[in-house]
Structures are given as C-alpha cells and as structure tokens.
Amino acid sequence: MALIAILAHPHLEEPVDLGKTLEMITVHDLVEALVGDVPYFETGERKRLKKQREAEAIEEIRRRLGPPTGDRIHDLFLEFENRQTPEARFAGAIDNLEVQIQHNLADFSTWTEAEYGLIYDKLDIPCAHDRFLKALAEAVRERALAKMRAGGVEVVSDQEETKEDAPL
C-alpha cells in the first residue's frame, strides 16, 4: 500500500499529505496484523466481529502507547476508517486496489466465483473520487478480466458483470 501511495499521490486531482497517508496506511496494517484481515466476501463470525475486534485492538494500542502518541495512532485509525478526509479516501482506495493487484498476481486456481464480481464492487466506489484512481482501477480490472478469460470465465464485457453473475 505504501508503494502505491508514493507512486500515485503526485497524479491525484486533489492534493494529499503523503506523510499522513502513509501514517494511516501503517496504522491500518498494524491493526490488521494484530487481529487479522477478513476477506470482503467472507461471512460468519469473523466478519461479524471484525469492527469490534479492530476497535478493541486500536484501544489496546492507544492504552499501551499512552498519550499523546497513543491518541495520535488512535485518531489516525479512526480517520482511515471514516474516509472523510482526502488522505483517508486515498488510503481507502489504495487498500482496495492493493488487494486486487495481489489477487491478480495469484494463481487463478486460488480464485473463487464469489471473487469475480469484486473487480467492480471493491474498486469502483473507493476510486470514484479521482480520475487517476479511476483509471488505475480500470487498469487493475482489465488485468483481472484478462486472467478470468484465460481461466475460462466468460466475461460479458469489460464494463459489465461476468456471465455467471449477469441477470437472466
């Protein structure tokens, strides 16, 4: 995520504070390192408890570090989660892009049908606020679509759902 932020931030329409973005990315990853990441499409207990476990983890980090450092880390985590600032929206977009980029690099046999539609669900909205991020999302999506086609998944078009997911 940090490398994507460094490479992408000069191309954004709305300037962001790169240092603050990198801080948010780091804090976000720290919390996930402590409690584990839950895939977007997962259901069940882990998904249901994700927000609660992350909130407990960031409070534990805050307590252990003490003020003012713990408060700063806590505030950066909440800013990332709330997606209200340009830096948080950028970091959130990168979070989604990075997952798909890694997924595109994985062997297609590791993909599940539930993941096919994520190339739309997980990229479009987080990247919609910026032309460069939208273009990057489209390039990442094109790689995913090419991999899906090579894996035998019939794709209706590059702008629509996969045939398996398309309405009858």
| 80: region left, alpha or beta (phi > 0 left; psi from -120 to 50 alpha) | alpha
pTM of the model: 0.86
Confirm if 21 and 2 have CB atoms less than 8 A apart.
no
Cα(147)–Cα(106) distance, integer angstroms: 10
Question: What CATH class does 2-150 carry?
Answer: mainly alpha
Those residues with Cβ within 8 angstroms of residue 9's Cβ, 6 or more apart along the chain or in another chain: 16, 18, 21, 90
Domain range list for the chain: 2-150
Q: Of 49 and 62, which is predicted with more confidence?
A: 62
The pLDDT tens digits for 15-46 are 999 999 999 999 999 999 998 887 777 788 88
